[in-house]
Amino acid sequence: MKILDKYLVKQFLQTIFFGLIAFTLLFIVIDMMENLDDFIDQSVSAPVILHYYFVFAPDIIKLMTPVSVLFGALFTVGKVSNLSELTAIKASGVSVYRFMAPFIITSLIISLFSIYFSGYLVPMANKTKLNIELNYLKKGYVYTGGNIFFQDTPTRIVNISFFDNSNNQANRVSIQEFEKDDLTHMISRIDAARMMYDSLDNIWVAYNGIKRNFNKKVETADYFSQIKLDYLHFRPNDLNTKQQKPQEMNLSELKSLLKSEEKSGLDPTNTLIEYYSRFSFSMASIIVVIFGLPISANKRRGGLAIQVGINILVTFIYLVFMQISLAFGKNGVLNPLLTAWFANLVFLAGAIVSLPRVKQ
């Protein structure tokens, strides 16, 4: 690494750090003003409030990282250009592409780290944040163990009124089976007071219930004190996962959820979009830098104000493309993978077109 590279990387990282701090504090202040009444009404203590915003910060940092990286690149290159340092660098025989290399490599490293950060650290922080909202702000979130309703297979629906994680017991359980060729026709139904998971045999056992069979116009009912349900596909850990919000799930949990949805015959489109978006949004940093660097490489009037304006404009355009692609993807118009990467592909195409036009 040459002295010039160290100088540019240092200026770049300092600006990114400043941008992240500024944007994070701005979001926290705005959110605090919105929740101030709730904090006061619920008599939330100062340590809990500090803890809340401590675990809220990672989600803000994830969202603001591409914006801060773009701001850092535009500001650093704009500053170098306006002070005629870029002219001197070119005169020394350094091409514009070689000049951009430190920014692109640094952005790539940030993007790769962002995959882990947004894929694992942010969901972990979001779980704590949602737990604080539930217990202290009384936001009204449904407890993950209550009122669980899901599809176990394409022909089987399971309803659990309450699940006790401590002893793997489901209370007030209903299991409905439907005919494969006619999903409007129920062929059997089990209603039980409780259902326990036998970890030795890896099966569910229902207690104190009734099993009804519907055959044409004939209905039979058999009461039981205990019955083994070895055909159920879900496990105790799956019950918590099924009720988690996507922002609480890490990449491994999202992948498990996808397998569960595919096995159950559910439409995995929204989960696929969320899964692919974790990668695409993490890579947005390097994409917007490649797109934005040619814009700042040429000396222009306005200085810092112009760089900030360009940063806001590019960010706005990027978010617009992202929301448009999400709307089409969730409606089934676009493939989930294309939906997640659409904005990045558009900006990458724009960068490929603009890069050859940069003045050497």
3-state secondary structure 277-341: HHHHHHCHHHHHHHHHHHHHCCCCCCCHHHHHHHHHHHHHHHHHHHHHHHHHHHCCCCCHHHHHH
The pLDDT of residue 299 is 55
Q: Is residue 252 within 8 Å of residue 312, measured between CB atoms?
A: no
Judge whether 187 and 241 are in contact, CB under 8 Å: no
Residue 324 has pLDDT above 80, yes or no: yes
151 φ, ψ (degrees, to nearest 5): -105, 115
E-strand ranges in the chain read 146-153, 156-164, 169-178, 186-198, 203-215, 218-229
- In the numeric block, the tokens 């496990």 are attached to 235
Could you give the CA distance from residue 112 to residue 104 in angstroms, rounded to a whole number?
Answer: 12
E strands in 23-125: none
What CA–CA distance (Å, rounded) separates 306 from 318? 18
Strands of the 156-164 sheet, one edge to the other = 146-153, 156-164, 169-178, 186-198, 203-215, 218-229
In tens, the pLDDT along 232-252 reads: 988 887 776 666 777 778 898
- Per-residue pLDDT of 133-170, as tens digits, reads 877 876 644 444 457 888 888 889 999 888 877 778 88
The pLDDT, as a whole number, for residue 264 is 66
Q: Can you tell me the mean pLDDT for 44-64?
A: 92
| pLDDT score of 15 | 92
Identify which has the larger pLDDT, 302 or 319: 319
At residue 37, does pLDDT exceed 50? yes
What's the CA gap between 255 and 250, in Å, rounded? Answer: 9
The predicted pLDDT at position 38 comes to 85
- For residue 349, the surrounding DSSP H or E stretch is helix 336-354
CA distance 329 to 322: 10
Q: Which residue did the predictor score with more confidence, 258 or 122?
A: 122
Q: What is the pLDDT of residues 169-205, one digit of tens each?
A: 888 999 999 988 888 889 999 999 999 998 888 899 9
Structure tokens at 213: 């069979």
Q: What is the reported pLDDT for 241?
A: 65
Average pLDDT of the chain? 84
Torsion over CA: 181, 182, 183, 185 (sign): negative
CA distances from 156 to 136, 223, 266 (A): 37, 20, 11
Q: What is the pLDDT of residue 140?
A: 47
Torsion on CA atoms 107, 111, 112, 113, rounded to nearest 10: 100
Confidence of residue 358 (pLDDT cuts 50, 70, 90): low
pLDDT of residue 297: 64
- Which pLDDT band, with edges at 50, 70 and 90, does 98 fall under? confident
User: Which amino acid is it at 99?
Assistant: F
Residue 333: its pLDDT value, please?
81
Average pLDDT on 262-282 reads 84
The confidence score (pLDDT) of residue 122 equals 93
Find the mean pLDDT for residues 110-116.
94
Predicted confidence band of residue 290 (pLDDT cuts 50, 70, 90): confident
